């Protein structure tokens, strides 16, 4: 359990207020716009910023309160920064060995991590010879080698190539079974793939804590007003169409086409449907290029400050969001509990890691 109530103000104006508690199991994502305070939140958790007042406790141990402050080196945390921050005077192996100096019990050895994260050939290379993605993988290994009780990762994949991402995402998931991870990301796909819990930050505060699905569908939260609001939906894979390079799948028994790269094996996938990509119709459309039509029920209609409307649509067991203009809403005379058709271009659907 991580409990925090931390405040910082400048010139009598509150800058940040992080308040909440979260049971850490697996990966907890921290999501929010740039400038929402995600990195500041991390720095105060790690003890790298002592300018906050308030209290912070982890597993019943007080890390910070009015009279005490446990320093970073005593918190037993591993940290992956946005930049790799490897020591330039050491080679790869030297950097990794340094991390083991104070490690009580690391889950993996250097050799094991080198195999898992695919950097065996790099062990004797100088840091200056490595690419950005390679450095970041080493930095991740370094954080794990300290044998931490808690891992903090600040957008670890943001500067990484496709190969590294595909390697690391499943690894993080597996790792989180043993070490709880708090994970800052901008990517909705990463949130849904990795985490079962999410801390939503907005304008220097914790806006909400909950499951990603619930938070993204909650129209009262800042996420719904976001330009790229949308949700992740589970698609049951049915078969791969080699002729047209599309995947046939099902959302609540309704057929859907997804344009993705050919998967190695047929497996269910998570797709992202942005609310602005959903077209609503009260009658079936004919003669259009639209490939996906879902029969849905309008569950909620929320007016946004920008003059648009956000509708929550139920496909059966899952939900999607659609953003339309007030003009469209009035012309179609849409109402709650009405059954309508939702169209989505196959090309505007993105799957995890594509």
According to DSSP, residue 263 is labeled P
User: Chain-centre distance of CA 190, in angstroms?
Assistant: 4
Distance CA 46, CA 38 (A): 13
H helix or E strand, kind and range, residue 136: helix 132-145
Binding-site member from 40, 146, 312, 350 for another protein (CB under 8 A): 146
Torsion (CA) 74, 19, 232, 178 in degrees, nearest 10: 20
- Does residue 305 bind another protein (CB under 8 A)? no
CB 56, CB 62: distance < 8 Å: yes
Distance CA 55, CA 6 (A): 6
CB of 59 to another protein, least distance (A): 18
Residue with tokens 């939900």: 319
CB of 87 to another protein, least distance (A): 6
CA atoms within 13 Å, Cβ hemisphere of 305: 7
CB of 127 to another protein, least distance (A): 6
Binding residues for another protein restricted to 209-248, rule: CB under 8 A: none
3 state SS of 11: coil
Mask for 113-132, x = binds another protein (CB under 8 A): --------------xx----
Mask for 42-81, x = binds another protein (CB under 8 A): ----xxx----------------------xxx--xxxx-x
Binding-site member from 1, 9, 21, 102 for another protein (CB under 8 A): 102
CB of 30 to another protein, least distance (A): 17
The two tokens of residue 39 are: 């990195």
The smaller minimum CB distance to another protein, of residues 152 and 233, is found at: 152
CB 149, CB 112: distance < 8 Å: no
Binding-site member from 15, 57, 70, 90 for another protein (CB under 8 A): 90
Number of residues counted as binding another protein (CB under 8 A): 27
Binding-site member from 12, 89, 227, 239 for another protein (CB under 8 A): 89
Mask for 168-197, x = binds another protein (CB under 8 A): ------------------------------
H helix or E strand, kind and range, residue 53: strand 53-58
Binding-site member from 50, 87, 177, 214 for another protein (CB under 8 A): 87
CB of 85 to another protein, least distance (A): 5
CB of 72 to another protein, least distance (A): 4
Binding-site member from 15, 57, 103, 123 for another protein (CB under 8 A): 103
Distance CA 132, CA 147 (A): 24
The smaller minimum CB distance to another protein, of residues 83 and 353, is found at: 83
Which of these segments, 18-26, 27-35, 141-149, 181-189, binds another protein (CB under 8 A)? 141-149
CB of 134 to another protein, least distance (A): 14
CB 38, CB 32: distance < 8 Å: yes
- Does residue 98 bind another protein (CB under 8 A)? yes
CB 219, CB 312: distance < 8 Å: yes
3 state SS of 106: coil
Provide the 10 A C-beta neighbour count for residue 350.
20
- Does residue 38 bind another protein (CB under 8 A)? no
CB of 204 to another protein, least distance (A): 22
Distance CA 295, CA 290 (A): 14
Binding residues for another protein restricted to 194-213, rule: CB under 8 A: none
Phi/psi of residue 346, each to 5°? -60, -30
According to DSSP, residue 130 is labeled S
In the complex, the residues that contact another protein under the rule CB under 8 A are 46-48, 71-73, 76-79, 81, 83, 85, 87-90, 98-99, 101-103, 127-128, 142-143, 146
């Amino acid at each position: 359990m991580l409990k925090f109530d931390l405040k910082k103000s400048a010139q009598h104006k509150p800058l940040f207020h992080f308040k909440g508690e979260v049971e850490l199991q697996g990966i907890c994502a921290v999501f929010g716009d740039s400038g929402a305070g995600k990195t500041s939140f991390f720095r105060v958790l790690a003890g790298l910023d002592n300018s906050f007042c308030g209290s912070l406790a982890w597993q019943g141990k007080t890390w910070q309160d009015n009279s005490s402050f446990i320093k970073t080196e005593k918190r037993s945390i591993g940290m992956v920064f946005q930049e790799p921050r490897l020591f330039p005077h050491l080679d790869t192996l030297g950097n990794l060995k340094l991390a083991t100096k104070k490690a009580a019990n690391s889950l993996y050895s250097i050799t094991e991590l080198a195999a898992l994260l695919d950097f065996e050939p790099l062990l004797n290379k100088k840091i200056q010879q490595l690419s950005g993605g390679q450095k970041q993988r080493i930095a991740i290994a370094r954080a794990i080698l300290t044998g931490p009780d808690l891992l903090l990762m600040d957008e670890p994949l943001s500067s990484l190539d496709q190969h590294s991402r595909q390697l690391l995402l499943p690894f993080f998931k597996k790792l989180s079974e043993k070490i709880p991870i708090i994970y800052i990301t901008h990517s909705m796909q990463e949130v849904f793939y990795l985490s079962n819990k999410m801390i939503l930050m907005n304008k220097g505060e914790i806006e909400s804590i909950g499951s990603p699905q619930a938070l993204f569908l909650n129209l009262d939260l800042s996420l719904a007003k976001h330009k790229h609001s949308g949700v992740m939906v589970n698609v049951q894979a049915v078969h791969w169409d080699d002729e047209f390079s599309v995947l046939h799948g099902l959302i609540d028994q309704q057929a859907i086409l997804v344009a993705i790269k050919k998967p190695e094996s047929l497996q269910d996938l998570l797709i992202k449907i942005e609310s602005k990509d959903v077209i609503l119709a009260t009658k079936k459309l004919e003669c259009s290029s639209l490939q996906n039509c879902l029969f849905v029920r309008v569950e909620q209609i929320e007016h946004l400050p920008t003059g648009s409307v956000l509708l929550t649509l139920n496909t059966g067991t899952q939900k999607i969001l659609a953003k339309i203009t007030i003009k469209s809403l009035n012309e179609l005379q849409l109402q709650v509990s009405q059954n309508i058709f939702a169209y989505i271009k196959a090309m505007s659907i993105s799957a995890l890691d594509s």
